[in-house]
Structure 1
Amino acid sequence: MLESQWVVVPLVNTKPSFGRRKMMKAGAEVVIVPRNFKLLEELESAEKGHGDMSISYGLEQADDIFLTSWIGTILGPAGTSHDGRIYSLKIHCGENYPNAPPEVLFTSRINMSCVDQSNGRVNPRSLGVLASWQRSYGIEQVLVALRNEMASTANKRLPQHPEGASF
């Protein structure tokens, strides 16, 4: 007598994915969103003002079809030496973004442990979100992490440069 064996095979979606790569992870389908789709989602979220109202960001040039150069602002947290200040930043999303973190530079002068005081560059090894970058993170998470770092014990009382000073 033959014993029947059953093999469970996940169903494959036969609809076109329009450039989205699919991977199987622990029995669930994970969709890898292309770089430009991810950045367009971030741009839409920024333009609609979703999320943390103490930060803002958008494209540096509206005609940047590669969605590479961004600018951001952070409102300094209350009760810190950053209170009431508005800090400006440049964010560069390279061709490997979101697999690799963006490069972040303050254009406003700021005294913070994770910022190079000679040029305003944020050291990716000194900011948790950049050091442990995941593809699901985005520009908003970076700006929120920087604002949280301003309020950290290491940075909240550091003396700041005169308001309006820039790198």
Structure 2
Amino acid sequence: MSRISFRLLEELEKGEKGHGPESCSYGLADSDDITMTFWNGTILGPPHSNHENRIYSVAIECGQEYPDKPPLIKFTSRINLPCVDQESGKVNAEKFQTLRNWKRSYTMETLLLDLRKEMAHPSNKKLPQPAEGSNF
């Protein structure tokens, strides 16, 4: 088993046991995915923002080079953020600092928490949002 697999196993265990923060969660999209490539995540919208009381869903794809290279992340819930493509829901690596400056030590949890911080950023927290429950 490669080092990458051990890293993903650690992340899976942490995500499944709920040892992370309450504001986000993640796990395998398909429990039979032995490659641990496809993941689902959720982010609770930060308080005092247009995201408050909303739950956003994301799809995460950890490629062969993860964690050396960042995963692909795409919102499945519609959201209006400058770093999210409004046609596809993909998070643009050039517009999102965590992906642009990816470090091997970062995890899916880091990614989800930093997206939540992006939602709470003063320039983004009052952006008008699509209807709750709408998807890409």
Give yes or no for TM over 0.5: yes
- 1:44-83 aligned at under 5 Å gives the runs 44-83=13-52
Partner of 2:76: 107
Tell me the TM-score normalised to structure 2 length.
Answer: 0.97
Q: Say if 1:113 and 1:154, in contact at 8 Å, map to a contact too.
A: no
Q: Say if 1:87 and 1:106, in contact at 8 Å, map to a contact too.
A: yes
Larger helix percent: 2
Deviation sequence 1:109-154 (CA, Å, 0-9, x none) = 0000110001100001211111111111110000000000000012
Tell me the TM-score normalised to structure 1 length.
Answer: 0.79
Alpha-carbon distance in structure 1 between the residues aligned to 2:4 and 2:83? 27
Q: Say if 1:92 and 1:102, in contact at 8 Å, map to a contact too.
A: yes
Percent pairwise identity:
54
- 1:57 counterpart SS class: strand
Partner of 2:105: 136
- In our comparison, the structure showing a higher alpha carbon Rg is 1
Which contiguous aligned blocks of 4+ residues in structure 1 show a shift greater than 6 angstroms? none
- 1:157 counterpart SS class: coil
What is the aligned residue count?
Answer: 136
Partner of 1:85: 54
The one-letter code matched in structure 2 to 1:135 is R
Q: Say if 1:81 and 1:156, in contact at 8 Å, map to a contact too.
A: yes
- 1:142 counterpart SS class: helix
Superposed displacement of residue 48, structure 1: 1.1
Alpha-carbon distance in structure 2 between the residues aligned to 1:53 and 1:70? 18
Unaligned runs of 5+ in 2: none
